[in-house]
Amino acid sequence: MLNNISELPLLYTGKTKDVYELPNGNILLQFTDKTTMNEKGEEDPGGNLVGKLVEGSGQACILMTQHFFNLFEEAGIPTHLVSVDVKNLQMEVKRVSPIGEKVCLEKGSGVEWIGRWIATGSFTKHYGKYIEDGRQFTAPFVHTTLKDDMRNDPYIDEYTLDRLKILSADKYQILKGYTEKIAEIMKVEFMKLGCELYDFKVEYGDDLQGNLILIDEIGPGSARVYKNGKKMSKIEIGTIFQQ
């Protein structure tokens, strides 16, 4: 599937991958070895800053994305995945409109869905004295944030999404159900591999037919995974999916 990216229109340069337009109308995601970090300079899946290059992180991301997107499709969760070229770190996907694109007043839009099994990171910071770090949930805790780096990805609820015409209440419930199912699938899959999933984030959009589908990626940079009580790095997580 190798595509010569020098011959393709560049649509967007992201924190961890670049986005190109393909002649057939689809989109090409070119993964890179860039990572995200938080304000402390620590590698962080929820970070809004571009971190250092970590060799192999692009491959880790595309391998994990391919693995889980295939599982999600089998479980009835539609995705934008068309094909994958692991060697060249390229993924062809369907063209989509991210949730909120039609009403966004600034460049860039989207809603991130976070599924949590164990409270940690920004979640415990956000709710402060109402929840302790490390609390375990018996069912996936799902919530949403706006993709807005300048405002530190503010939390947003179903009512506000609906009133701002970003996402209707009925569609919210559909995507909440998808995210809960994704949480269950990922938890079980990591347990099989001797690991523990703390949390993850995903994104959705509308395809050209108006169907809600899972978009972007679900790589090591989108999840916190622990093994023997220690947080795994992107490369450690990615190595699992090379087998």
pLDDT surpasses 60 at 177: yes
Cβ distance 223 to 45 under 8 Å?
Answer: yes
Say what the pTM is. 0.91
Cβ distance 49 to 222 under 8 Å?
Answer: no
Lookup result for tokens 């966004």: 104
pLDDT of 145: 97
pLDDT surpasses 70 at 4: yes
In this structure, the dihedral spanned by the alpha carbons of residues 225, 35, 4 and 239, taken in order and rounded to 10 degrees, is -30
Amino acid at 125: K
pLDDT of 38: 53
Lookup result for tokens 């620590």: 42
**Higher pLDDT pick, 2 / 169:** 169
pLDDT band at 242 (very low <50, low <70, confident <90, very high): confident
DSSP codes joined into one string, 34-61: EEEE-TTS-B-TT--EEEEE-TTHHHHH
Lookup result for tokens 């600034």: 106
- Give bridge partners of residue 52 from the DSSP assignment: none
pLDDT band at 3 (very low <50, low <70, confident <90, very high): confident
CATH assignment of 5-240, among 3.30.420.10, 3.60.150.10, 3.40.50.620, 3.30.470.20: 3.30.470.20
pLDDT surpasses 90 at 103: yes
pLDDT surpasses 80 at 243: no
Cβ distance 220 to 193 under 8 Å?
Answer: no
In this structure, the strands spanning 223-227 and 81-85 are unpaired
Q: If you compute the radius of gyration of the chain from its CA atoms, what whole number of angstroms results?
A: 17
pLDDT of 202: 98
Find which of 106-120, 164-178, 222-236 is predicted with most confidence, using mean pLDDT. 164-178
User: How confident is the model over 46-80, as pLDDT tens digits?
Assistant: 555 555 677 888 999 999 999 999 999 999 999 99
Cβ distance 11 to 17 under 8 Å?
Answer: no
